[in-house]
Structure 1
Amino acid sequence: MRDLEESLRDAVLDLADGAPLTENLATVARARGRRIRRRRRTALGAFVVVMFAAVAVPYVALRREAPQPVVEPAPTVTVTPSVLTRALPGFSIKSPYRLPGGATVSMLTLPGADDSKMYVSLDRSTGRYRQLAFAYDPLGMSADGKLFAGSTGSGKVRVLDAADRTVDTIGVRMQFDIDSKPEWSPDGSRLLLPTPDGFAVYDVATKSHRVFENSAIRYFCPDLCYFTWLPNGREVAVGRRDDNVPRSEARAAVVASADIYSADTGKLVRSIPMTGVPASTDAWSPDGRSVLVRVQDEDFSTSTRIADTTTGALRGDPISGQALFLGDGRILAIGSRHAELFTADGIPLEEATLPRQFNDAILTVTRN
């Protein structure tokens, strides 16, 4: 009500200033009063709009520009197979001894008196272990456990059966290298013998042998010179050093390839580029795609690696101990105190502590 009175008073003052005619005074006053009220209402509305904008716009702007919470990406979790750890039971001669992966200990080589060896072999017919009556060194056993072969030390190799009977005597002088021994073919039908200038192959069925000697074979052989069978039983592999690298007694030889020879003709078939030497006949995978090789560093320290049989490329971490491929493609490694099981790519699966009876023994293992 007070606002209306003030508006009316202002209108009267405005009318007095205009000094209109007397008869139109009331009409003019009403008209001018309405115009003034409209201007004031308009000004008030504009003021309200401006004030609302001044309050609301910053709020909206702040709401739009407010920093969003940072969502951290979920951490990447790498799942690796769990490694089973266990202690194996004690050794007994009364039953076949099993290792991780189902492999069987088929023979133990133990130190004897005066640098001789003592051999304890599994008799497949009884399922028990017995000591062999001979002590040839080194001694190789066929995969079926029926035949043994060892050097007599007088330039000959004797072949014996499981009953210690002599099957044949081979007139071949073996070349003794570190860890080298007579190597039986996977099916046990032939015997591979390293010689001073190459290798010899003995046929069990015909009781005959052929010597394949080539001075280049031994000349290019690296420090680790092993002759091994390939899974097909028709080819022989041996490492070849890099002849572009001068030999030195101060460092280990550099391996360039694994040379593959025919066991029938002794001819070089092919070469696989490789930085290590195939470790044994059992070092070749069942599918023929991989081989376990012994790799020497310059300081002559040795480790076992998995190599591709086509390219020679290495994969996986170094494996310690005597290693071989099992029948299902997994890898078993045997050390002085432990046996370890790996996938075909070298991923650890199981580690087992060996019994104390194996402390000084070299284990010969039959694949599962």
Structure 2
Amino acid sequence: MTRLLDETLRAAVRDLADGAGPAPDLAARALGRGRRLRRRRRVAVAGAAVLAIVAVAVPFVLLRPRPAALPTTPAPTVTPSPTLLAPPGTDWTTRPLVLPGGWVVTRAQVKGGSGSGFLLDRGRNRYFATDRYDGIFPAPTGSLVAVHDDDRPKDVGLIDLASGKTRWYRVDGALSTPRWSPDGRRLLFTTHRVDHFGFIVMAVADGTKQTHLVGPLGWSCTDFCDFTWTRDGREVALTLTKKRAGERGPRDLAKGVQLFSVDDGRPTRLVEMPGAPASPDAWSPDGKLVVVQGQQEPLLVETATGRVVNPLPSAEVVWVSDDRLLYRRPLGRGDFVLADPTGRELVRQPLPRELVDLEVTVAPR
């Protein structure tokens, strides 16, 4: 481009610029438009972000499993405390010591037969101390007491507390302690003589005896091999064992209880159960349940099936009714307890201080 042409072009541009009028609101309009564009961009960006979050969150919410319901905590089971009766007073010997369930203490003696102890005189309704005999065994009803003297091992004495008279009867050698029938009319002995094994039933009215020898039963007898009465007094029971000869264990494993007729001594039936009943009162009044000493613990058992219902604190129990048991607590001072068949204590009765360390016998009032 020539210099003349360049100068001519510049002059034309200046003339046009001088002729253009100023636009006073142009800047304001430009700033406003810029603000509007920025707001639109921010709204668009924010909307896009929200849509992105919703797009991610909605599938997550829809696919997320419902939270499991919190487990409800069961209310704690509250076991009512037993009713605690007051200890007997110092004058306890002046009247029968009535236990929960209505039974009474009839005898208390040092375990092992030292002779010293207390005996209930039902006719006078009071206790008296005695140390004359090595074993005293009051009948569950009436005024008779069977006594044992170590100096007369083959004999049993019968004392009538009402009359004060004592009669002695020759029974046999190697005898167990006498066991009263539930009606108080007969005594049961186990004879452990070398030449024969069996049981002897003696009528206390006149001393007549029936001796029943027992032959092989296919199983050995358990523990001390002693016969006991059943609750109705029509049969006697012998617990048999499944333990093999020489096998060691805490106690013989019982197969069941073999029952024998009192009248002729013949085996009648075998009731399978995992232990030995301690007394006729261990059988429930209706005969459906029995408390036995199992191999490791006392057990409540169904007599029809041999099924163990539940363990119990003691095997030395008496059924005072179809649903109440009376036993002496194996711990502490040996209070007597009235319990239900589960072993739950209902009433607890302390013993007089003089009886705490003695072996105690109870009977219906």
Q: Using structure 1 for the length normalisation, give the TM-score.
A: 0.71
Change in Cα spacing, 1:174 to 1:309, as seen in structure 2 (3 Å) is farther
Note if contact 1:143-1:184 (Cα within 8 Å) is conserved in structure 2. Answer: yes
Question: Which residue of the other structure, out of 82, 85, 90, is the alignment partner of 1:84?
Answer: 82
Question: Where in structure 2 are there 5+ consecutive unaligned residues?
Answer: 1-47
Kindly indicate whether residue 311 of structure 2 is the aligned counterpart of residue 317 of structure 1: yes
Note if contact 2:175-2:189 (Cα within 8 Å) is conserved in structure 1. Answer: no
What is the SS of the residue equivalent to 2:281? helix
Q: Aligned-pair distance for 1:154? A: 3.2
74-83 or 227-236, larger mean C-alpha shift: 74-83
Residue equivalent to 1:15: none
Distance 2:268 2:111 in 1: 39
Give me the identity figure in percent: 29
Q: Aligned-pair distance for 1:324? A: 2.1
140-149 or 329-338, larger mean C-alpha shift: 329-338
Distance 1:199 1:209 in 2: 10
Distance 1:110 1:326 in 2: 25
Change in Cα spacing, 1:117 to 1:296, as seen in structure 2 (3 Å) is farther
**CA-to-aligned-CA distance 1:19-75 (integer Å, 9 cap, x gap):** xxxxxxxxxxxxxxxxxxxxxxxxxxxxxxxx9xx79x9799899789767543433
- Code of the residue aligned with 1:108 in structure 2: it is A
Change in Cα spacing, 1:199 to 1:80, as seen in structure 2 (3 Å) is farther
- Code of the residue aligned with 2:88 in structure 1: it is G
**CA-to-aligned-CA distance 1:174-210 (integer Å, 9 cap, x gap):** 6456xxx311111112211111111111123453110
Q: Aligned-pair distance for 1:111? A: 6.6
**CA-to-aligned-CA distance 1:309-351 (integer Å, 9 cap, x gap):** 2222222224137322223531122146132332123333344
Note if contact 1:327-1:367 (Cα within 8 Å) is conserved in structure 2. Answer: no
Note if contact 1:340-1:352 (Cα within 8 Å) is conserved in structure 2. Answer: yes
Q: Aligned-pair distance for 1:128? A: 1.4
Distance 1:218 1:292 in 2: 24
- Code of the residue aligned with 1:83 in structure 2: it is S
What is the SS of the residue equivalent to 1:278? coil
- Code of the residue aligned with 2:241 in structure 1: it is R
Distance 1:158 1:271 in 2: 34
Residue equivalent to 1:40: none
Kindly indicate whether residue 288 of structure 2 is the aligned counterpart of residue 308 of structure 1: no
Q: Aligned-pair distance for 1:261? A: 0.5
Distance 1:194 1:164 in 2: 29
Q: Aligned-pair distance for 1:306? A: 1.4
Change in Cα spacing, 1:219 to 1:120, as seen in structure 2 (3 Å) is farther
Q: Aligned-pair distance for 1:294? A: 1.6
Kindly indicate whether residue 134 of structure 2 is the aligned counterpart of residue 140 of structure 1: no
Residue equivalent to 2:333: 337
Distance 2:199 2:323 in 1: 29
Residue equivalent to 2:127: 129
Change in Cα spacing, 1:145 to 1:363, as seen in structure 2 (3 Å) is farther
Residue equivalent to 2:160: 161
Alignment size in residue pairs: 307
Kindly indicate whether residue 260 of structure 2 is the aligned counterpart of residue 269 of structure 1: no
Change in Cα spacing, 1:292 to 1:66, as seen in structure 2 (3 Å) is closer
Residue equivalent to 1:291: 290
What is the SS of the residue equivalent to 1:125? coil
Distance 1:94 1:218 in 2: 52
Question: Where in structure 1 are there 5+ consecutive unaligned residues?
Answer: 1-50, 298-302
Note if contact 1:304-1:323 (Cα within 8 Å) is conserved in structure 2. Answer: no
Over the aligned positions, Cα root-mean-square deviation in angstroms equals 3.5
Q: Aligned-pair distance for 1:277? A: 0.9
Residue equivalent to 2:147: 150
Q: Using structure 2 for the length normalisation, give the TM-score.
A: 0.71
- Code of the residue aligned with 2:200 in structure 1: it is A
